[in-house]
Amino acid sequence: MIGTDDGIEVFEDTIQKYHFNSSYISSFIVNGVSVDVGDQSFGHEENNIDISFVSPNYDYEIRYNYRLVGATNDWTETERNTVKFSRLAPGEYIFEMRPFVSGQLGEIASIGFSVAPHFTRSWWFLSLIAIICITVVYLIILSVKQSELYKREAIESTQTALRAQMNPHFLFNALNSIQNYILMNEKELSLKYLNKFSTLVRQVLENSNHKLVSIKDDLEALEHYIQIEAVRFEDRFNYEVIIEDEVDKHNFLIPPLLLQPIVENAIWHGIMHKESGKGEITIRYKFMGDSLVCLISDNGVGVKKAREIEGVNDAVSYGLKITKGRLKVFNKDSRKESSEKYSISVRDINKGGTVSGTEVEVEIPILISK
């Protein structure tokens, strides 16, 4: 209390608020080199930073708080007016400092800067790598698809070529028969044979345009061929076709002209060498496991005897060789599963130790028309 001419003045006990002068960043050193103070960007290797700051307040108890936003949001206390940050990671940073005295805080002084990432971590480089990777993957997929396309086209071309070889081979034999009838002046037989022949040619040409045909369509052409050969050889043999009940001849598919060379082999190399008795040919379609099996059997002289009679090491006809080549090509088709294989086997039929014919087994994967 203070007495005055005007009376007594009473002063309450209060704490004087500390008056801070403005603080500022005094120096900014990067990798030991001083740079101008201000918002700046630095390379990925310019990441050792020394920052000095000034707070022109004259109190021996003055201290400082600082933090580096982008690395941490926590404040750190120090008595010094210089801080050092080593090997900063790439990113955006804001350095902030403020003085404090007796628990009272001054205004914040700050400076912003950034450390650029290595170019291999920059967005444009990563985007470029992503684009390159996507492009490479796309080109690889495109190349694989193109390779598969070329491979399938090559297989199709080979199959077409083999089927094309079959047509002139068969036509040559049939035309020879017509020529023989004409030379022998057998007009009625010539006309009958020519009529069957024209029907067969139409069926063969039509079936040859397809990679696969129904058993029914292929069998019609095959039976026309057998009937023509029966006329040609004056009914020296009979034939029988057996289709087991579970085999749908309308919807199950096989390669066209696959069995014709085998039947031709049975007639020419088996039955025609028989010294007595009538020839018999049986064509059977049945299932065996996951495959369709076609069995062509005859009661001819057998493979070994045919070789001896014809004086050759291999009694297999040209047409049968083509058939084996076709099956080999089918097995190379990458679109088929490993279990879907075509195969052919030839064996003699033995009865009581005596060869009484030949049986050819053709195994075909089960293919159903859609």
Query: Residue ranges of the domains in the chain?
Result: 2-119, 167-365
Residue 204's SS3 state is: helix
Q: Give the whole-angstrom CA distance, residue 27 versus residue 37.
A: 6
* Residue 338 pLDDT grade (very low, low, confident, very high; cuts 50, 70, 90): very low
Q: Give the whole-angstrom CA distance, residue 225 versus residue 171.
A: 11
Enter the CATH code of domain 167-365.
3.30.565.10
- Bridge-based pairing of strands 213-214 and 253-254 is antiparallel
- pLDDT tops 80 at residue 153: no
Residue 95's DSSP bridge partners are 68, 111
Out of 34-43, 272-281, 315-324, 332-341, the most confident range is: 272-281
Q: Which residues, in sequence order, are CB contacts of 269 under 8 Å at separation 6+?
A: 300, 303, 306, 310, 315, 317
Instruction: For 59-104, give the DSSP string.
Output: -TT-EEEEEEETT----EEESSSEEEE-SPPSEEEEEEEEEEETTE
Q: Which two tokens stand for residue 1?
A: 């209390």
- pLDDT tops 70 at residue 17: no
Q: Poorest-confidence range of 44-53, 197-206, 294-303, 353-362?
A: 197-206
Q: What is the pLDDT of residues 293-327, one digit of tens each?
A: 999 999 998 888 888 887 765 545 666 777 787 78
Q: pTM value?
A: 0.55
Give CA 157 to chain center in angstroms. Answer: 22
Compute the mean pLDDT over every residue in the chain, rounded to the nearest whole number: 82
Q: What is the pLDDT of residues 224-266, one digit of tens each?
A: 889 888 877 878 899 999 999 899 999 999 988 888 888 988 9
CB 111 within 8 A of CB 89: no
Q: Give the whole-angstrom CA distance, residue 357 versus residue 350.
A: 7
Please give the pLDDT value at position 239.
95
- pLDDT tops 90 at residue 85: yes
Please give the pLDDT value at position 31.
92
CB 297 within 8 A of CB 303: no
Q: Which residue has the higher pLDDT, 40 or 60?
A: 40
- Give percent of the chain with pLDDT exceeding 70: 84
Kind plus residue range of the DSSP H or E element containing 357: strand 354-365
Pick the CATH number of 2-119 from 2.70.40.10, 3.10.450.50, 2.60.40.10, 3.40.50.620: 2.60.40.10
